[in-house]
Amino acid sequence: MNNIPFLNLGKVNEPYFERFAAATERIIRSGRYIGGEDCTSFETKLAETVGCKYCIGVSNGLDALKLIIEGYKALGIFHAGDEIIAPANTYVASILAISEAGLVPVLVEPDIDTMNIDSTQIEAAVTDRTRGIMTVHLYGRVAYDTSMAEIATKYGLKIIEDNAQAIGAVSEIQGTNSDKAGGLGDAAAFSFYPTKNIGALGDAGAVTTSDKDLADAVRAIANYGSDRRYHNIYIGYNCRLDPIQAAILSIKLDDLGQISEHRQAIATVYDKKILNPKVKKPEIPAFAKSHVWHQYVIRTEKRDELRQFLTENGIGSDINYPTPPHLQPCYINTLGKKQFPIAEQISKTCLSLPISNVIDADTATIIAEVLNNY
């Protein structure tokens, strides 16, 4: 009997135990538990990694997205009631950020093969209230192309990247700041939720941009709205990143290349060894570096039965995501008035297989063989 959990975070973090403990002890002894050198050096490292001028460490990915929108509001670029185009197939947090900031999400269907926003359908969703496109590099695959960039330029839209899942991915084409996920649009949000490719030991996130005004606004809004001590220019929030999390993330960020390459190698094993015609494998993009495989998502008609079969064979799996945002109770009476059949089809047929630094090629082969016996 196999015993392969979908994800074992204790094991994922095991190689880092000593370094994490040393960094944590150093910070405890330093007496500085908010802000400081660990935060700044992590921010510098992440900004360099994605090719942006600025990075602001924040509390989590949802706050990072929301702070970008609030930042554009503070600068008078977005206003309450403006529309942001976003993919119908995403984790609900992408959409929550838009609503929480007082703007209106306008959903666009995914492409069934990439499972990311279908750029050919973006222009039809543009109205005179549209101010931005939130692109989500879902499952670790870059969702950015020439057509998206052209529409943004044509209508004067800001491109906001939800880069919760694709840190380390590289785009085939150059973006606004670089060719890296997080540097493609005007601003990007990162999540370091423990399960992400670079995961903290709790909640953490970041914003990257090369727009100084936006960076200043985001930093101030995330720190009670203050631009300097006891001076509040915005009615802000407290959405800061802790130095302990920053130090931990800094240690992991040094391994980013290796982490992405390992996931790409596991995806290649799955791609070669899963041969069951009932299982639709994810499309492998022509440009290999554009996918860092946060999830390896297969599709199959009898998904729940297949999942049960894997469970009986001691193999964990997950569903990302069982309910698309527009069908969530909180959105059913608004976004749910429109139909998004492709997003719904993905939610009913998708299944995520184990992929992390704990899964090696032999384990992936065992999983593929079990799937072939279904």
Ligand X SMILES: *Cc1c(COP(=O)(O)O)cnc(C)c1O
Contact residues: ligand X, CB under 6 A: 60-62, 90-91, 93-94, 136, 162, 164-165, 191, 193, 203, 205
Question: 180, 171 in Cβ contact below 8 A?
Answer: yes
The C-alpha atoms of residue 207 and residue 60 are separated, in whole angstroms, by: 10
Q: Report the nearest approach of ligand X to the CB of residue 138 (Å).
A: 6
Radius of gyration of the CA atoms of the chain, in A: 20
The C-alpha atoms of residue 321 and residue 61 are separated, in whole angstroms, by: 17
Q: Report the nearest approach of ligand X to the CB of residue 200 (Å).
A: 9
Ranked by CB distance to ligand X, the top (closest) residue is 61
Q: Which is nearer to ligand X, 101 or 269 (CB)?
A: 101
Q: How many CB atoms lie within 10 A of CB 1?
A: 5
Q: Report the nearest approach of ligand X to the CB of residue 6 (Å).
A: 15
Q: Which residues pair with 296 in a beta bridge?
A: 353
Q: Report the nearest approach of ligand X to the CB of residue 59 (Å).
A: 8
The C-alpha atoms of residue 86 and residue 207 are separated, in whole angstroms, by: 18
Q: Which is nearer to ligand X, 133 or 279 (CB)?
A: 133
Q: Which is nearer to ligand X, 195 or 345 (CB)?
A: 195
Q: Which is nearer to ligand X, 12 or 370 (CB)?
A: 12
Q: Which is nearer to ligand X, 94 or 245 (CB)?
A: 94
Burial environment of residue 87 by CB neighbours within 10 A (0 to 12, 13 to 18, 19 or more): buried
Question: 291, 284 in Cβ contact below 8 A?
Answer: yes
Q: Report the nearest approach of ligand X to the CB of residue 241 (Å).
A: 11
Q: Which two tokens stand for residue 225?
A: 């709205």
SS3 67: helix
Question: 152, 133 in Cβ contact below 8 A?
Answer: yes
Q: Report the nearest approach of ligand X to the CB of residue 103 (Å).
A: 16
Residue 69's nearest CA partner among 170, 188, 156, 181 is: 188
Q: Which amino acid is at 167?
A: I
Q: Report the nearest approach of ligand X to the CB of residue 43 (Å).
A: 17
Q: Which residues pair with 315 in a beta bridge?
A: 4
Q: Report the nearest approach of ligand X to the CB of residue 219 (Å).
A: 18
Residue 138's nearest CA partner among 92, 201, 203 is: 92
Q: Which is nearer to ligand X, 49 or 165 (CB)?
A: 165
Cα of first residue to Cα of last residue in the chain, in angstroms, is 16
The C-alpha atoms of residue 77 and residue 98 are separated, in whole angstroms, by: 14
The C-alpha atoms of residue 10 and residue 24 are separated, in whole angstroms, by: 17
Q: Report the nearest approach of ligand X to the CB of residue 140 (Å).
A: 10
Q: Which is nearer to ligand X, 189 or 267 (CB)?
A: 189
Q: Which is nearer to ligand X, 193 or 279 (CB)?
A: 193
Q: Which is nearer to ligand X, 100 or 344 (CB)?
A: 100
